[in-house]
Chain A
């Protein structure tokens, strides 16, 4: 299980970072979301994966291993804050697109001046 989860986190980070390095804002935002999934999963996995029962007091049976509540609490707020960040970033992308006339992360595509003059 440890191997599988590590590999999954690795795949998600790889995809997230690749998207993060793209030139268009929308891809960057998607990369950011992917990266937050990966980070949340990573944080969550730090509480180990052996649990068979949620961290509810009094619910855990004799054979059950209760989950570690601390990483869960951390991840829960991270998910919500991640949403706020995504919303902010994507609105910024929207505004930048309308102000700069391009959704390139650098404000203008490298060859935009050439394109404009051609038009």
Chain B
């Protein structure tokens, strides 16, 4: 029951992300309040679950989503999840309060809170997921939402570039993680954490373990800004400071170390894990600590310090020992608290003095003593001074580095490296405090600094109080949280025992204490010598801008992509068609390759009539192609092809097809002649012999492969599903014309789709024709003027009596269609032709005077009728488009049959008439309009 709160905790900020965007209309405070209320409620809900988790329970919530793919909406709350969710919601709440005062009047605040809540939801999803695939989705969402937050000041180029850099690196890592998680799921047989964490031996003994580990670590290291992917983090400082405080200290970058902690039971403990994770952590720790000292930008110093501390946490997990993991989890808590408060303090200084350059900021103690005190406490914690929380976890870290045996004779490397990093940490912490608050007077500050608004300091005060409380009374404050989080980190699923560790401030005189003393003394010494060191650093290291390198690389890749695109797509449709046909030929030919061409069946006899028809067909097809530049002649040849195809349908026992083809043939040719009137009558001879040769080759290749394919199929035995339709047509569909029954009954839904497409095409054509400007030809290709007499008398006289006859034929075809060749399509086309004949013979004006039909409405009515017939079967409790039929007897006419399918066919009939006439009448109107205009002139 309680676990059902888990999805709500995630959904509150996820769906609520819209709330601040809407609330901004009520003012900035309302927007901030709505964001705060949402995260406050989520935090409250979380707190109700905390006692159960502290008691050793793991809450699971599960909702099947795509179980076939192992993707379920499975959530989990254990100690580690509680720790992170508390950090995300707690610090998130403080950041919301802080940002209310930090953002200026010009910044769109609603959008800021919207993005922030979205990010918060994504982070909560990552830390509360039980299903690894689900976690991955949220992981990607953190990358995307942090992109939006870093690029929040979108008018600034550095913000946009920093956001892009961060997205590329973390997004790329996300891809590697996806592959790693898929491998992990493959190895352990499930994507559920409970299963994965319990199959440590299987995973680590598997031959794919190294690949899995490297891929997952790529995801974690990119997210946590580990060397060599660390360079995106300093550039992400282009974000507003509340974002930096939230994303780049407490949450987003912690997602990487969270992943290390989450999968610690499954992946850690191997030699490979130690060298990869601890090695990367150590390099990052030292590199970050060293560079932090030489940054003049306040946020730059904090960024590199964050990189260094993340390296420290990574190193602790990399050791692979339970105590190392405990220390890692503890440092996650402490770092989040002091780094968030330091970023907020840096934001206050920036906000109130107008700069973050430590060469200008000096002696601010006089202007903002309150802020200075807060910053000093947080910085002392960062440096690892006793009585502050950072000291405790750093002490544990020093102790852990001392007893590790993997490195053998090189075992001293770890403690020495750790101490060295400690020295630099102390040095840059002193610099942060001394340079900014003391060290003489400020130099040309843009603004006169003063204390910030009261409530802007409250979040910092809360965090600093926590630094002290945890630092002085660890056992009464952080102990249960740490114990529960560390237990679930080390043991995975079952709440097993933890190795002994002590949270006391004083452990007596020992080696870790000595290391701390060396760090503090050494750090102070380095700070005193800083000016010489700055000069040395400037001589030794040329400034190296990773962002510029990245931008250059990006430009280059885009350049390659452009060139490749230009190579393939030069804008010529003619060329695309050529490539399309060529690829189709290659595909078909490669499919045919190697299989025997002929099947076992005999080719069959050919009778003389069929042969004659075939010759006529081939001849007219070839002449169409040969004479294609004389368009009217080619069109006539093409119509012969269509005619012979219709006859072929008759020859091979397909009367329905023959009727359809014949009527479509007429409509098509009339249509093309109408269009040809407005187009050039001749195509210029512009193809080079080379191109003609190439096209011919391609055409023969295409025709040849299709012919081979047809031959291959026709000489092989086959089985048809047609027997089913033959057997069920009369009993199931009530008609003996099986083709028609398939169309209106068995596959009625397809037909409905088809008439809809027909209607859409017709309406699209009308749209294309509206407002069309055409050049009116006055003479044909040979220079002969068009005939003045537009409507030939004989045609008009013959066509008029033909109309009722044609309509009777159409109705007859329509009615008998269910049992004999005919049906809605054919009847519709016949009616359309009969009406078009009137247009052709007597003109549009004459016809429209006598016939008031809105073809758009007719088409719509047809489609609707067909669709509603289908709906009708719902009323009787049958599936859509179930047809029913019955036999009735009328005097005189005798017995006849009525079927709902006929109603459907009537819809088809109307839609076909409507759309055919819609196209032709509108095209025809163009010529009339033009003629009238001309004569008026």
> For the complex, is B764 an interface residue (Cβ under 8 Å from A)?
yes
Interface string of A99-119 (1 = CB under 8 A from B): 000010110011000000000
Contact B742 A45 (CB under 8 A): no
Interface string of B625-651 (1 = CB under 8 A from A): 100110100110010011001001100
Contact B736 A90 (CB under 8 A): no
Chain A residue, CB-CB nearest to B649: A44
Contact A33 B668 (CB under 8 A): yes
- Residue with the greatest number of chain B CB neighbours at <10 A, chosen from A37, A40, A69: A69
Chain A residue, CB-CB nearest to B720: A68
Contact B624 A34 (CB under 8 A): yes
Residues on A with beta carbons closer than 8 Å to the beta carbon of B629: 27
CA distance A91 to B918 in the complex (A): 13
Contact A93 B675 (CB under 8 A): yes
Pick from A70, A77, A91: contact of B765, CB under 8 Å: A91
B137-145, B162-170, B722-730: which lies at the interface: B722-730
Contact B720 A27 (CB under 8 A): no
- Count of chain B residues near A, Cβ 8 A: 110
- Residue with the greatest number of chain A CB neighbours at <10 A, chosen from B700, B702, B725, B774: B702
Pick from B638, B754, B773: contact of A77, CB under 8 Å: B754
Interface string of A74-97 (1 = CB under 8 A from B): 011101111111111011111101
Chain A residue, CB-CB nearest to B775: A98
Residues on B with beta carbons closer than 8 Å to the beta carbon of A42: 706, 710
* Closest Cβ–Cβ distance, residue B894 to chain A (whole Å): 18
Asked, given contacts A72-B654, A77-B754, A93-B679, whether A23 binds B699 with beta carbons under 8 Å apart, the answer is no
Interface string of A15-59 (1 = CB under 8 A from B): 111111111111111100110011011101111111111111111
Pick from B649, B667, B726: contact of A66, CB under 8 Å: B726
Contact A105 B739 (CB under 8 A): no
Pick from A10, A68, A73, A86: contact of B671, CB under 8 Å: A86
CA distance A58 to B743 in the complex (A): 19
Residues on B with beta carbons closer than 8 Å to the beta carbon of A26: 631, 675-676, 679, 683
Total A-B Cβ pairs within 8 A: 305
Residues on B with beta carbons closer than 8 Å to the beta carbon of A109: 684, 686
Chain A residue, CB-CB nearest to B825: A80
Chain A residue, CB-CB nearest to B601: A2
* Closest Cβ–Cβ distance, residue A39 to chain B (whole Å): 9
* Closest Cβ–Cβ distance, residue A23 to chain B (whole Å): 6
CA distance A20 to B327 in the complex (A): 72
Main secondary structure of the interface of B (DSSP, over half): helix
Asked, given contacts A3-B711, A4-B614, A49-B604, whether A55 binds B722 with beta carbons under 8 Å apart, the answer is yes
Asked, given contacts A66-B726, A88-B764, whether A30 binds B645 with beta carbons under 8 Å apart, the answer is no
Residues on A with beta carbons closer than 8 Å to the beta carbon of B915: 84
Contact B758 A30 (CB under 8 A): no
Chain A residue, CB-CB nearest to B773: A98
Residues on A with beta carbons closer than 8 Å to the beta carbon of B715: 2
Residues on B with beta carbons closer than 8 Å to the beta carbon of A41: 645, 648
* Closest Cβ–Cβ distance, residue A115 to chain B (whole Å): 10
Residues on A with beta carbons closer than 8 Å to the beta carbon of B713: 45-46
* Closest Cβ–Cβ distance, residue B669 to chain A (whole Å): 9
Contact B725 A91 (CB under 8 A): no
Pick from B572, B653, B676, B679: contact of A51, CB under 8 Å: B653
Residues on A with beta carbons closer than 8 Å to the beta carbon of B820: 56
Residues on A with beta carbons closer than 8 Å to the beta carbon of B601: 2
> For the complex, is B475 an interface residue (Cβ under 8 Å from A)?
no
* Closest Cβ–Cβ distance, residue B633 to chain A (whole Å): 11
> For the complex, is B656 an interface residue (Cβ under 8 Å from A)?
yes
CA distance A82 to B751 in the complex (A): 14
* Closest Cβ–Cβ distance, residue A38 to chain B (whole Å): 7
> For the complex, is B477 an interface residue (Cβ under 8 Å from A)?
no
Interface string of B763-780 (1 = CB under 8 A from A): 011001100111100000
Residues on B with beta carbons closer than 8 Å to the beta carbon of A34: 621, 624, 638, 641
Chain A residue, CB-CB nearest to B672: A90
- Tell me which residues from 824 to 840 in chain B have a Cβ below 8 Å from any Cβ of chain A: 825, 829
> For the complex, is B198 an interface residue (Cβ under 8 Å from A)?
no
CA distance A67 to B574 in the complex (A): 40
Pick from B678, B695, B730: contact of A18, CB under 8 Å: B695
Asked, given contacts A15-B699, A69-B726, A106-B572, whether A10 binds B764 with beta carbons under 8 Å apart, the answer is no
Contact A91 B653 (CB under 8 A): no
Contact B668 A86 (CB under 8 A): yes
Contact A73 B577 (CB under 8 A): no
CA distance A103 to B774 in the complex (A): 13
Residues on B with beta carbons closer than 8 Å to the beta carbon of A25: 679
Pick from B605, B686, B710: contact of A6, CB under 8 Å: B710
* Closest Cβ–Cβ distance, residue B634 to chain A (whole Å): 6
* Closest Cβ–Cβ distance, residue A91 to chain B (whole Å): 5
Contact A13 B706 (CB under 8 A): yes
* Closest Cβ–Cβ distance, residue B821 to chain A (whole Å): 7
Residues on A with beta carbons closer than 8 Å to the beta carbon of B768: 91-92, 94-95
Chain B residue, CB-CB nearest to A111: B686
* Closest Cβ–Cβ distance, residue A16 to chain B (whole Å): 8
Interface string of B556-590 (1 = CB under 8 A from A): 00000000000000011110011001000000000
Residues on B with beta carbons closer than 8 Å to the beta carbon of A4: 606, 610-611, 614
Asked, given contacts A80-B664, A84-B757, whether A94 binds B679 with beta carbons under 8 Å apart, the answer is yes
CA distance A57 to B734 in the complex (A): 11
CA distance A7 to B738 in the complex (A): 30
Contact A106 B571 (CB under 8 A): yes
* Closest Cβ–Cβ distance, residue A19 to chain B (whole Å): 6
> For the complex, is B843 an interface residue (Cβ under 8 Å from A)?
no
CA distance A52 to B571 in the complex (A): 51
* Closest Cβ–Cβ distance, residue B388 to chain A (whole Å): 72
Residues on B with beta carbons closer than 8 Å to the beta carbon of A88: 761, 764-765
Pick from A7, A20, A27, A84: contact of B761, CB under 8 Å: A84
> For the complex, is B244 an interface residue (Cβ under 8 Å from A)?
no
Residues on A with beta carbons closer than 8 Å to the beta carbon of B758: 80-81, 84
> For the complex, is B47 an interface residue (Cβ under 8 Å from A)?
no
Asked, given contacts A79-B660, A84-B915, A90-B671, whether A14 binds B703 with beta carbons under 8 Å apart, the answer is yes
Chain B residue, CB-CB nearest to A97: B679
7 inter-chain pairs at a CB distance below 8 angstroms, sorted by A residue, are A3-B603, A13-B702, A22-B683, A27-B683, A79-B657, A80-B825, A87-B762
Given contacts A54-B653, A109-B686, 9 further A-B contacts (CB under 8 A): A15-B622, A18-B625, A28-B577, A53-B653, A55-B722, A56-B819, A69-B739, A73-B747, A94-B769
Name B residues whose Cβ lies closer than 8 Å to a Cβ of A.
571-574, 577-578, 581, 601, 603-606, 610-611, 614, 617-618, 621-622, 624-625, 628-629, 631, 634-635, 638, 641-642, 645, 648-649, 652-657, 660-661, 664, 667-668, 671-672, 675-676, 678-680, 683-684, 686-687, 695-696, 698-700, 702-704, 706-708, 710-711, 713-715, 718, 720-722, 725-726, 729-730, 736-739, 742-743, 747, 750-751, 754, 757-758, 761-762, 764-765, 768-769, 772-775, 819-821, 825, 829, 912, 915-916, 919, 923
Q: Which 3 A-B pairs have the closest CB atoms?
A: A10-B707, A14-B703, A1-B604
